Amino acid sequence: MSSTNGNAPATPSSDQNPLPTRFEVELEFVQSLANIQYVTYLLTQQQIWKSPNFKNYLKYLEYWCNPPYSQCIVYPNCLFILKLLNGFMESAIVNEDGLLEGLDELPKIIQLQGPQWMNEMTLEDESKIKKQVHRRTTSLATTMPGHELEDVINQRLNLYDVLELPTPLDVHTIYDDLPQIKRKYRTLALKYHPDKHPDNPSIIHKFHLLSTATNILTNADVRPHYDRWLIEFLRKTNDIERNKLIQKLEESESSTIPTTTPHPDLLQIQRHGELLRKLKHFNLPYGDWKHLNTQDQENASQHPYYDCSTLRIVLDNFLQSNNKSNCLSHLRNQVFITLSANEIYDIYFSERNNYSKDDSIIIYTVFDTPITAQHVFRNWSSGNLIPTVKDISPLIPLHYYSDFNLETELNDDIARLVSNEPILLD
């Protein structure tokens, strides 16, 4: 029926119909066992006795037989039936015929043994009940959680992970919101209740862990012992894992250490990089760097006195001067015509050469020996000029050594090696 204002009727909110707690669900189920017809229907018609989860669940529910939980029971004979059912389930042979026979005998057993068992529970005086209640509550703080705590520590369990709560890393980060722990437990207990997962045996273990975690973490006497153990355990575990990572990193780094010697031209490559950065800074041309010849590097490594045999020659620009073979032929045939072909060992160009715009270019000429290079430089310095050559200078400028006045007596062995004299052996 629609409302008078045309709006749809409001549906009841979840707050108006809250979900029952685990305590309420289990209390209702335990008390339903007092109905023999319901028990017979549950076990025979539903065939629930065949499920191993049901056997474990009945065993788990026996805690209702102990105070203070038993004081909440309205029909105490349900606890007697609960113990009888557990006796059936724990018998050596459980089959349908034996179970039906046991159920047929159940009313007679209740009639004969039930009153005596009930009297043992109901005839306890108030002081004895208080002692049992006190013993039960203190066991929750000491005995029962103590045993559980020992099992938890032996199994190296993180109860904060079980309840999906943040794990404390030290005493300053301990999670102490007890109402939140209980709310978290109720949420997870509804999610992992065995009745919702009848085909998953591991859920019973998960459900039991939730209860254990809640009992310990909400117990003011037991929890500090657990927190101290957990923090120390995590610290040691993290140290072990950290040491393993350090060892693995060291092994990885040691395995990547090169076994060969560094590249012999590394210093030359670094200097070349510095030069290129300077040229870029001053907007100077790089030269023909796109057509580098690796043969130059090979020649440099093969020549025994490469640097001291090299002269810096400033030459008039000519056609195809950026071609190495043309330039080498030009030097041999038109510039150094008095030298033989093999006395010019190699040439390479300056990176700053601009072959299309500059009137002159710089060519570094490597001669076969330092003596040949010295001879060419002295002829140029003495005034024997060459028309197409504007300047000749050593690769390393002479003014670098203008303040060098140190004289050192040459070692006799080195002197003999320089003069190529034979070494006399004793």
Read off the pLDDT of residues 191-207 as tens digits, 9 standing for 90 and up.
888 777 777 777 878 88
The single-letter code of the amino acid at 99 is L
The Cα–Cα gap between 33 and 103 comes to 12
Domains in the chain: ranges and CATH: 22-136 (1.10.10.1340), 142-238 (1.10.287.110), 290-397 (3.30.70.330)
Confidence of residue 126 (pLDDT cuts 50, 70, 90): very low
* Predicted local distance difference test score (pLDDT) of residue 93: 44
Count the neighbouring beta carbons within 10 Å of the beta carbon of residue 110: 18
Residue 50 CB contacts under 8 Å (≥ 6 apart), including other chains: none
Q: Which residues pair with 389 in a beta bridge?
A: 315
Task: Determine contact, residues 288/349, Cβ cutoff 8 Å.
Answer: yes
* DSSP-assigned beta bridge partners for residue 347: 365
- 414 vs 260, which has greater pLDDT? 414
Tokens of 36: 């023999």
Distance CA 98, CA 254 (A): 71
Cβ neighbours for 21, distance < 8 A, ≥ 6 positions apart:
186
What are the structure tokens assigned to 359, written together? 């009137």
Residue range 200-226: average pLDDT? 83
Nearest to 390 by CA among 361, 365, 364: 361
Helices (H), 258-316: 266-281, 294-302
Q: Model pTM greater than 0.95?
A: no
Residue 190: pLDDT over 80: yes
363 CB burial (10 A radius; 0-12, 13-18, 19+): buried
pLDDT at 132: 46
Residues 6+ apart with CB under 8 A from 231: 168, 169, 170, 171
* Crossing angle (nearest 10°) for helices 223-255 and 143-154: 10
Instruction: Say if residues 182 and 218 touch (Cβ distance below 8 Å).
Output: yes
The pLDDT tens digits of the residues spanning 364-413 come to: 999 988 889 888 888 888 887 788 888 988 887 777 766 667 777 778 87
Of 148, 131, 169, 135, whose CA–CA distance to 218 is shortest? 148
Q: Considering only CA atoms, which of 98, 87, 99, 92 is closest in space to residue 58?
A: 87
Which DSSP symbol is given to 260?
S
Check: CB of residue 351 under 8 Å from CB of residue 275. Answer: yes
d(CA 296, CA 288): 14
Q: Nearest-CA neighbor of 49 among 8, 107, 88, 7?
A: 88
Specify the residue for token string 């209980």. Answer: 182
Rounded to an integer, the average pLDDT of 327-353 is 86
Decide: residue 223, CB within 10 A, 0-12 exposed, 13-18 middle, 19+ buried: buried
Whether 165 and 176 have beta carbons less than 8 Å apart is answered as: no
Distances in whole angstroms, Cα of residue 23 to Cα of each of 20, 73, 211: 8, 12, 12
Model pLDDT for residues 140-177, shown as the tens digit of each residue: 344 445 567 788 888 888 888 888 888 877 666 666 67
pLDDT at 329 over 50: yes
CA distance 287 to 362: 10
Q: What is the DSSP letter of 35?
A: -
92, pLDDT greater than 50: no
Q: What percent of the chain has pLDDT over 70?
A: 69
Q: Is 49 helix (H, G, I), strand (E, B) or coil?
A: helix
Whether pLDDT at 114 is above 80: no
Residue 308 or 403, more confident: 308
Cβ–Cβ < 8 Å for 75, 34 = yes
- Grade residue 421 by pLDDT with cuts at 50, 70 and 90: low
Q: What is the pLDDT of residue 385?
A: 76
Write down how long the chain is. Answer: 426
For residues 321 and 315, give the distance between their C-alpha atoms in angstroms, rounded to a whole number.
10
Q: How far is residue 313's CA from residue 311's CA, in Å, rounded to a whole number?
A: 6
Q: What is the pLDDT of residues 61-86, one digit of tens each?
A: 888 887 777 777 877 778 877 887 77
Q: Indicate the range of 87-91, 133-137, 155-159, 259-263 predicted with least confidence.
A: 133-137
pLDDT of residue 46: 62
Burial of 263 (0-12, 13-18, 19+ CB in 10 A): exposed
Residue 181 has which token pair?
């722990």
Average pLDDT of the residues in 88-111: 59
Tokens at residue 107, please? 């009313």
Query: pLDDT, tens digit, for every residue of 231-260?
Result: 888 888 777 777 777 778 877 777 666 555
